[in-house]
Structure 1
Amino acid sequence: MDGDFSHGADADRRRAEKATALARFAWDRAIGGAELLALPDDRLRKLARAAGVNPPSTRETWNLAAELLDRKSEWAGRHPDDPRSVPAHADEKIMWVKRPPPAWT
């Protein structure tokens, strides 16, 4: 038996379930895939807890969540009139993704 528990059918299924939960939470807050991957580790852990999942131990799950977000964004672009294409809590994005401060002029 291979001692690597991080890969295999069960691990892949759990990773996909966790990534889906993370992507749903991020989507509802209008966080895109690139924005998700740019978050610092401490904020990613907080986001995971807020989404109701244990923080992933590897970047694989975050990468999968970002890929799901990108797919959802593409789908939303093709279906702008569908209510599911609008994030439910977009106003909460600022809690997770901080805008850069304005440049001094």
Structure 2
Amino acid sequence: MTDYAHSDTAAKSRAQKALRLAGYVWERGITGPELLALPSATRRKLARAADTNPPSTEETWATVARMLSDKDEWAARHPEHPSARRAHTDEKLMWVKPPITPWP
């Protein structure tokens, strides 16, 4: 009996899911480290917003974070390419909250 979780089909499915998530997350200007720092509940909501079932393993999220870093590096080398432009950076605040500066 074959273990589906470790099959080629499962690996292909995880890669496709990671690619969908990375595309959605990158468009919003979220970096790999920011993604991994998000609480798991927020990451699940983010996946659902991307019309994707949330990954069940940290491995998939780590893959997404690597893809984001790779895309950031590529975009920095090709700033004039249309694919280097993010369309929804205004939505980043919905997911990644900036630190609150305390009153002096």
Please give the range of the TM-score, normalised by the shorter of the 2 chains.
over 0.9
Hey, what's the Cα distance between the residues in 1 that align with 2:20 and 2:6? 19
Say yes or no: does 1:78 pair with 2:77.
yes
Say yes or no: does 1:100 pair with 2:79.
no
Match of 1:46 in 2: 45
Identity of aligned residues (%): 54
**Structure-1-length-normalised TM-score:** 0.93
Tell me how far 1:50 sits from its aligned partner.
Answer: 0.5
Which string of whole-angstrom CA distances, capped at 9 and with x for unpartnered residues, describes residues 51-82 of structure 1? 01111111111111111000000000100111
Hey, what's the Cα distance between the residues in 1 that align with 2:25 and 2:69? 11
* Structure 2 unpaired stretches of 5+: none
Aligned residues: 104
Classify the secondary structure of the residue corresponding to 1:6: helix
Which aligned pairs between 1:19-38 and structure 2 lie closer than 5 A? 19-38=18-37
Tell me how far 1:5 sits from its aligned partner.
Answer: 2.4
Could you say what the CA RMSD is over the residues aligned between the two structures, in angstroms? 1.0
Tell me how far 1:8 sits from its aligned partner.
Answer: 2.0
Hey, what's the Cα distance between the residues in 2 that align with 1:90 and 1:27? 9
Say yes or no: does 1:59 pair with 2:44.
no
Tell me how far 1:6 sits from its aligned partner.
Answer: 1.7
| Amino acid in the other structure paired with 2:21 | L
Hey, what's the Cα distance between the residues in 2 that align with 1:5 and 1:103? 50
Hey, what's the Cα distance between the residues in 1 that align with 2:69 and 2:27? 13
* Structure 1 unpaired stretches of 5+: none
**Structure-2-length-normalised TM-score:** 0.94
| Amino acid in the other structure paired with 2:46 | L
Tell me how far 1:28 sits from its aligned partner.
Answer: 0.6
Say yes or no: does 1:7 pair with 2:6.
yes
